[in-house]
Amino acid sequence: MSVEQNSGMQKTVRQFLVALTACLAVAGAAVYAVSPGGAPESPVQHAGVTVDWPHTTATATPAPPVN
């Protein structure tokens, strides 16, 4: 093998290892995020009908008449 072929192969292997490391880091973060007890859950609002809606009872106060 010539020197150019050898350095080209080294560059290819290095780029592959960098890409592999990045993919493993992303996959590890995803596993950590979905694992129970991993990352704290953010409050999520689910759409749908609930029995406690509306949460507050509004009382209507009429506006004073404008003359």
Characterise 65 by phi-psi region: left (phi > 0), alpha (psi -120 to 50), beta (else). beta
Where are the chain's structural domains? 1-35
For the record, the structure tokens of 12 come out as 């290819």
Instruction: Note the pLDDT tens digit of each residue in 12-59.
Output: 999 999 999 999 999 988 888 777 765 566 666 666 666 665 666 667
* Cα 7 to Cα 51: distance, rounded to the nearest angstrom: 68
CB 32 within 8 A of CB 38: yes
- Predicted pLDDT at 40: 60
Q: CB–CB of 32/39 below 8 Å?
A: yes
Phi, psi of 48 (to 5 degrees): 145, 175
Q: pTM for the whole thing?
A: 0.47
